[in-house]
Amino acid sequence: MTGRVVVVGSANVDLVVDVPRHPHGGETVLGDRLRRSPGGKGANQAVAAAWAGSADTSFVGALGEDEAADLILVSLGGAGVGTDLVARVDAPTGTAFVTVDPEGENAIVVAPGANHLLRLGARQAERIAEADVVLAQLEIPLDVVTAAAGLRKPGALFVLNAAPSRDLPAELRAAIDLLVVNEHEAADLAGTPEALLDHVPAAVVTLGGDGCLVLQRAREPVRIKGIRVDVVDTTGAGDTFCGVLAAGLARGLDVAEAARLATAAGALAVTLPGAQTAVPSAEEVAVLAAGGTVS
Ligand code: RIB
């Protein structure tokens, strides 16, 4: 393992409003001022892999020819993510409408825009084939996710964060080395967390503030406890988890060790507003994972 991660996924500009509570259908709720920040599950995970996970990270995604794209490219570049494989397409950059309540809980609607035009060309395929870990999510076309999985080299891992929840085609399911889902996504896919192993060789089920559960065929489950923090905004915390998990695996850590670091990174991510803006540093992750405090 050389520590190379390729993230294939979405990038969005997040339009975020703090609200006293999330609106019901047909209801209008007055919120606070509008914030714009770089987001998208794919881009968030790439930033986390590079910044908090110290991996050599490239992002494969599609952006429009607009100012929102610049915001995302600056964030990716600032984290040290390779952006040479990002396509510019004839559609607006993806946009996510995010509301955050006083408990830090979010609700998100995504207008995919450019993300739906993502295709893999020869240069993208070549980089994916060099990766130790290929990490994808489900905000881009499923055939692109399946193709990315098929391009990984022997011995490399294909990690799928099956978010947002969608039915997985059999060919894609069969290609998964490690599945990362929350409890709701696990229920959608298999009923119970344990039943995920009927479909994939290994899974990590994230449990919000309660940590995560690591499941691997022919091994005892490992429960990693959550770390108590003051929650400001949960947006992107799962993405930080996935990025740091992938980075750890690419450095040769086993799934449970990588998940321990990812749990610490996810805990730190909820203490600040935004998605990519809340990704901690590798040093902060190491301190919290070792039982220290991060101010
Ligand atoms: O997981 C959080 C992300 O989901 C946000 O950044 C938003 O863009 C959506 O993709």
Location of structure tokens 């935004």: 274
Give the position, in ligand 1's atom list, of the atom nearest the Cα of 106. Answer: 2
In this structure, the residue with its CA closest to atom 2 of ligand 1 is 236
**Cα–Cα distance, 226 to 71 (Å, whole number):** 32
Model pLDDT, residue 292: 86
Residue range 130-142, pLDDT digits in tens:
999 999 999 999 9
Determine the pLDDT at residue 55: 87
Structure tokens at 125: 């395929």
Distance CA 281, CA 262 (A): 12
DSSP string, 11-28: -EEEEEEE-SSPPPTT--
Separation of 184 CA from ligand 1 center, angstroms?
A: 17
Ligand 1 pocket check for 108: Cβ under 6 Å = yes
- CA torsion sign for 161, 55, 38, 150 is negative
* Nearest CA, atom 10, ligand 1: 40
Q: What is the mean pLDDT of residues 114-140?
A: 98
Q: Give the closest residue (by CA) to ligand 1 atom 1.
A: 236
For ligand 1, mutation pick of 14, 63, 105 (most atoms within 8 Å of CB) = 14
Q: Does the beta carbon of 242 sit less than 6 angstroms from any atom of ligand 1?
A: no
In this prediction, residue 124 has a pLDDT band, given cuts at 50, 70 and 90, of: very high
- Work out whether strand 4-8 and strand 56-60 pair parallel, antiparallel, or are unpaired: parallel
Q: Which stretch of 2-6, 33-37, 186-190, 199-203 has the lowest confidence by average pLDDT?
A: 2-6
Is the distance from the beta carbon of residue 111 to the nearest atom of ligand 1 less than 6 Å? Answer: no
pLDDT of res. 290? 94
> Which mutation among 15, 108, 233 tests ligand 1's pocket best, with the greatest number of atoms within 8 A of CB?
108
CA of 159 to the centre of ligand 1 (A): 18
Any atom of ligand 1 within 6 Å of the Cβ of 236? yes
DSSP string over 51-118 = HTS--EEEEE-EE-SSHHHHHHHHHHHHHT-B-TT-EE-SSPPEEEEEEE-TTS-EEEEEE-GGGGG-
* Residue 1 in this model has a pLDDT that exceeds 70: no
pLDDT in the model for residue 158: 98
Q: Calculate mean pLDDT across residues 151-178.
A: 97
Residue 2 has a pLDDT of 65
pLDDT more than 70, % of the chain:
99
Q: Over range 167-190, report the average pLDDT.
A: 97
Cβ(110) – ligand 1 distance below 6 Å: yes
Question: Is the CB of residue 39 below 6 angstroms from any atom belonging to ligand 1?
Answer: yes
Mean pLDDT of 166-175: 96
How many CB atoms neighbour CB 31 within 10 A? 16
- For the chain, the first-to-last Cα distance in angstroms comes to 33
Whole-number Å distance, alpha carbon 95 to ligand 1 midpoint, is 9
Q: Is the CB of 100 under 6 A from ligand 1?
A: no
* Nearest Cα residue to 40 out of 78, 12, 61, 63: 12
Give the residue numbers marked as catalytic.
239
Q: What is the pLDDT of residue 283?
A: 96
